[in-house]
Structure 1
Amino acid sequence: MDICSSLVDFSDMDNSLVGATVESLKSGTLMPLIKEELRLKIQSRRLGEGKDELEVTFEQPIKPVLTDDEKRRKEERKVKNREAANRSRARKRKQKEQTVQDMRILQEKNKELKEVVQKLESEKSSLQKLLHNTSTFHVPSHKDMQTSWDDSSKNNWDTIFSKDYSMWDIPSSDNYPCSPLRSSTDHDGSRPCSPEDGIVPGSQPLTNLYNSSIFLTPCSLDKPISGPSSCESGFTPSPSPTLDEEKNSPWWLQNIQ
């Protein structure tokens, strides 16, 4: 108040105006003076109209007095809220610990699975290399080696004797031998040979099929042979191989007898 009194003369001013001026000087704004000026204008207008002076009072709200029952319920609510908050924090803490534990278990399992995958990939690579470096052979089945002359198996001769003929150890010649057919009831070797279906044999004999013994004599025909009945003329019978020769014969010739 002493500092403000040296700047402003308060002798002719109302107390309310003095308070507004001091407050304005302290805050550095004119808002308190503007409010007080508006209040005084309203007050002077009311007095000019013959009305009483306007008085504005601000009463502090009175806190209600709580009864003992209300105080007890209030304390119970506080306790329940505190317990519920503690339970919630404990539940969240437990969930966090369980989540961390599950994460560690899954990480260990993931690590093990990665090791298994790497091991399987290594085995796969090894097997692929082994398969690539290993030669594969085609072994004909017993069904493929049958030599029945019916219509259903007529083309087996082409598959056995024509396509795979280069794999056999047969002396080079321009002529193909007749396939020996031996009946189960004919043991004297008088059964004529039946050449391969679709092949026109020549006139030169072939050897080296049964222990280098001559047992096949080609037939000289004008048309391809389609069955045993077709080789009834124009052939020279040759003796059938013996049992010892059959045992020592190649497996592909044993199956076609």
Structure 2
Amino acid sequence: MYFGVFPKSSEISVNKFIRLWVAEGLLELKGHDESENEAASLLQQLIDGSLVVVSKRSLNGKIKTCRVHGPAHDLCLREAECKNLLYVVNPETGKTYRMFSPQGRQWVSVNSKGDYHPVPFDDLTHSRMRSLHFFVSGTEPTNELRLSNFKLLRVLDLQSLVLNDFPTPLLDLVCLRYVALTITISKCLQISSLWNLQTSTVHGSALVQSPTISFQNEIIEMPQLRYLHSTRLYISSPMKVPVLDNLQSFSRLNPSCYTKEIFQGIRKVKKLGIFGRG
């Protein structure tokens, strides 16, 4: 049913989908590795059953992206809506935005082929929503969204929108496990208050020169963080770095960050991306 969150016929990153699935808490398992392995196994079962189609593979044959058949996607939508789990705002039927009542659904997906338009949310939605996804184009929705009202939000995917600045109300969402943003300016982010965060993806807009995203030292002490991705990433090195047992992936980290202390702290990382000059 979670495939209904994505627009019909969209190409979905398998890695992203599995991380979202785990962040939603859809698997009753202990430990990140166990949950991710089980999610990958269940996804493979859907592929073997021809409900999900492989779109792209990596050079070693690993599945990179997938799609859902049109009829299967319709089934996902119907089942998720019947169980009061999902509400899709402005589905791809050309309808205009309208006032809506999601009736306290846990997943809300805002889809549009055109520009972003403000979407109203009622108090019941604020109190019950667990994930919010945007698949639109446009700029700066955060004032209208009133992010600080979504106290129990676990997943916030605003990557398709271009934000003029980092939305500071996001720092009040202490239950967040997954966040994806696109911003236009270089920024030093202070997200260490988000102790439950597992995945952080903060990219620069393709419309401007890729900004450098800096993080304060405290980010390397976040206990649940597993994936830290950015267009350009900079972390200043403290005198002592704890060993990050859960951290799996750093993406596009500036070479000047590679100090002895940093390497000691991230020695369990499985994937490391480097960007820029040392």
- State the TM-score, normalizing by the size of structure 2: 0.18
Q: Which has the larger radius of gyration?
A: 1
Greater strand proportion: 2
